[in-house]
């Protein structure tokens, strides 16, 4: 059995896309960065901690069961762009992304019954077109950006802002499927 340590409907959709049957477990961890922690190291650490948190919450786990956990962060000029708190914050984030390239770091971790956790990172680049004020206003007026890192969803209305993607679409959406498949196979999961 596979357990997804995430309440993200996007991650669940992606895992189903590659034919994985799973149950969802909810894991809550402190996602604060450590002093001087690089974004790529933070996203890897968070995915590992979520997988370990899943192990402690899954009391019915059997020897062949696996926990899948992931985290995604947006980086611009070496700084994390988090989830917008409100409309002004959403506007600010999108103005920063306008006509610029940014990075999307997505890490996935797989934990086994024995507590061993392996994780992989997918580093992706996105370039936004120049956003008009009315584009930002309309998008921030929707419900879409408020639970998304960087204030946008590639699979939603913001797709029209993306001029170029270098990397993995699924990773930008929240779960790098290639890396997830690799880790599951390494852990003995049969597709």
> What residues are labeled active site?
71
In degrees, rounded to 5, the angle at the alpha carbon of residue 13 between the alpha carbons of residues 60 and 125 is 115
SS3 34: coil
Contact, 150 vs 85, CB < 8 A?
A: no
Q: Token match 């992304």: residue?
A: 97
Using CA atoms, how far apart are residues 54 and 99, in angstroms rounded to an integer? 39
Using CA atoms, how far apart are residues 4 and 27, in angstroms rounded to an integer? 10
Q: What angle in degrees, to the nearest 10, is found between the helix axes of 177-186 and 9-17?
A: 70
CA dihedral (10, 15, 18, 21) in degrees, to 10, reads -140
DSSP per-residue string spanning 53-72: HHHHH-TT--TT-EEEEEEE
């Amino acid at each position: 059995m596979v357990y997804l340590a995430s309440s993200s409907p996007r991650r669940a959709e992606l895992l189903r896309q590659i034919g994985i049957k799973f149950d969802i477990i909810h894991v809550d961890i402190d996602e604060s960065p450590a002093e001087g922690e690089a974004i790529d190291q933070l996203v890897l650490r968070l995915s590992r901690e979520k997988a370990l948190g899943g192990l402690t919450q899954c009391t019915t786990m059997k020897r062949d069961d696996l926990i899948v956990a992931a985290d995604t962060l947006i980086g611009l000029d070496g700084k994390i762009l988090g989830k917008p708190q409100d409309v002004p914050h959403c506007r600010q984030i999108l103005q920063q992304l306008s006509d610029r390239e940014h990075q999307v770091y997505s890490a996935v971790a797989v934990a086994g019954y024995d507590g061993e956790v392996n994780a992989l990172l997918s580093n992706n680049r996105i370039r936004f077109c120049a956003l008009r004020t009315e584009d930002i206003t309309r998008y921030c007026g929707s419900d879409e950006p408020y639970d998304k890192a960087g204030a946008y969803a590639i699979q939603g209305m913001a797709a029209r802002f993306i001029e170029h993607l270098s990397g993995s679409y699924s990773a930008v959406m929240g779960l790098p499927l290639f890396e997830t498949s690799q880790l599951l196979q390494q852990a003995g999961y049969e597709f």
